[in-house]
Structure 1
Amino acid sequence: MKKTTLTFTALAVSAVLSSAAFAKDLKVATSAQVGSLQYNTTQYFTEVANEEFKKQGIDYNLKFFGAAQLGKDKDVQQKLKLGTVDLALLTSTLPTHVSEMALFELPFLVSDRDHVAKIEEQVFWPYIAPAAEKKGYKVIGFWENGFRNITNAQRPVNTPEDLDGLKIRTPNSSWRVKMFKNWGANPTPMSFSEVFIGLQTGVIDGQENPYTNIYAAKLHEVQGYLSVTNHVYTPAYLTAGARHYGKFPDEVRAVLEDSAKQAQQWGYQEATKLEGELKDKLVAGGMKLNVANRQAFVDASQPIYDDFVKNVNNGEAMLNKAMATAN
Structure 2
Amino acid sequence: MKFGGILAIGLTIALGTTSAALAQTEVKFGHVGEPGSLFALSAEEFAEKANEKLGDKAKVVVYGSSQLGNDNAMLQKLKLGTVDLALPSSVMSSQIPIFGLFDMPYLVNDREHMAKIRDEVVMPEMAPVAEESGFKVLGVWENGFRQITNNRHPIVKPEDLKGIKLRTPSGEWRVKMFEAYGATPSPMAFSEVFVALQTGVMDGQENPYAQIYPSRLYEVQDYLSKSNHVYTPAYVTAGRSFGRLDPEVQQILTETAVEMQDRVYEIAAQLDEELLQKLIDAGMQVNEVDREAFIEASKPIYEQFASSVEGSQAMIDKAQSLAGQ
- The one-letter amino acid of 1:16's match is L
Matched, 1:249 2:246: yes
Q: Which of 112, 115, 122 is the aligned partner of 1:114? A: 112
Structure 2 portions without partners, runs of 5+: none
Deviation for aligned residue 1:3: 5.7
What's the counterpart of residue 18 of structure 1? 17
Given that 1:42 and 1:263 are in contact with CA atoms closer than 8 Å, whether structure 2 keeps it comes out as no
Matched, 1:272 2:276: no
Q: For structure 1, which segment, 42-51 or 316-325, has the greater mean C-alpha deviation from structure 2 after superposition?
A: 42-51
Q: Which of 283, 305, 309 is the aligned partner of 2:306? A: 309
Q: How does 1:115-154 map to 2 (within 5 A)?
A: 115-154=113-152
- Aligned partner of residue 156 in structure 2, secondary structure: coil
What's the counterpart of residue 171 of structure 1? 169
Deviation for aligned residue 1:175: 1.3
Given that 2:167 and 2:188 are in contact with CA atoms closer than 8 Å, whether structure 1 keeps it comes out as yes
Q: How does 1:149-160 map to 2 (within 5 A)?
A: 149-160=147-158
- Whole-angstrom distance in 2 between the partners of 1:44 and 1:192: 23
- Aligned partner of residue 168 in structure 1, secondary structure: strand
Deviation for aligned residue 1:314: 1.2
What's the counterpart of residue 43 of structure 1? 44
- Whole-angstrom distance in 1 between the partners of 2:280 and 2:9: 68
Structure 1 portions without partners, runs of 5+: none
Given that 1:96 and 1:175 are in contact with CA atoms closer than 8 Å, whether structure 2 keeps it comes out as no
Q: TM-score normalized by structure 1?
A: 0.94
- Whole-angstrom distance in 2 between the partners of 1:249 and 1:265: 26
Percent identity over the alignment? 47
- Whole-angstrom distance in 1 between the partners of 2:44 and 2:84: 15
What's the counterpart of residue 285 of structure 1? 282
What's the counterpart of residue 52 of structure 1? 53
Deviation for aligned residue 1:50: 2.0
Deviation for aligned residue 1:10: 4.5
Show CA shifts across 1:124-177 (max 9, x none): 011110111111111112101000010111111010000000001101221111
Given that 2:83 and 2:241 are in contact with CA atoms closer than 8 Å, whether structure 1 keeps it comes out as no
- Aligned partner of residue 87 in structure 2, secondary structure: strand
- Whole-angstrom distance in 2 between the partners of 1:12 and 1:85: 31
4+ aligned runs moved over 6 Å, structure 1 = none
Deviation for aligned residue 1:5: 5.4
Q: Which of 303, 322, 325 is the aligned partner of 2:322? A: 325
Given that 2:142 and 2:264 are in contact with CA atoms closer than 8 Å, whether structure 1 keeps it comes out as yes
- Whole-angstrom distance in 1 between the partners of 2:246 and 2:182: 50
- The one-letter amino acid of 1:88's match is A
- The one-letter amino acid of 2:237's match is T
Q: Which of 199, 211, 216 is the aligned partner of 1:218? A: 216
Deviation for aligned residue 1:12: 4.1
- Aligned partner of residue 82 in structure 2, secondary structure: coil
Given that 1:226 and 1:289 are in contact with CA atoms closer than 8 Å, whether structure 2 keeps it comes out as yes
What's the counterpart of residue 263 of structure 1? 260
- Whole-angstrom distance in 2 between the partners of 1:34 and 1:264: 20
Deviation for aligned residue 1:52: 1.7
- Whole-angstrom distance in 2 between the partners of 1:313 and 1:16: 53
- The one-letter amino acid of 1:300's match is A
- Whole-angstrom distance in 2 between the partners of 1:95 and 1:51: 34
- The one-letter amino acid of 2:265's match is Y
Given that 2:181 and 2:297 are in contact with CA atoms closer than 8 Å, whether structure 1 keeps it comes out as yes
Deviation for aligned residue 1:276: 1.4
What's the counterpart of residue 200 of structure 1? 198
What's the counterpart of residue 73 of structure 2? 75
What's the counterpart of residue 32 of structure 2? 31
- The one-letter amino acid of 1:113's match is R
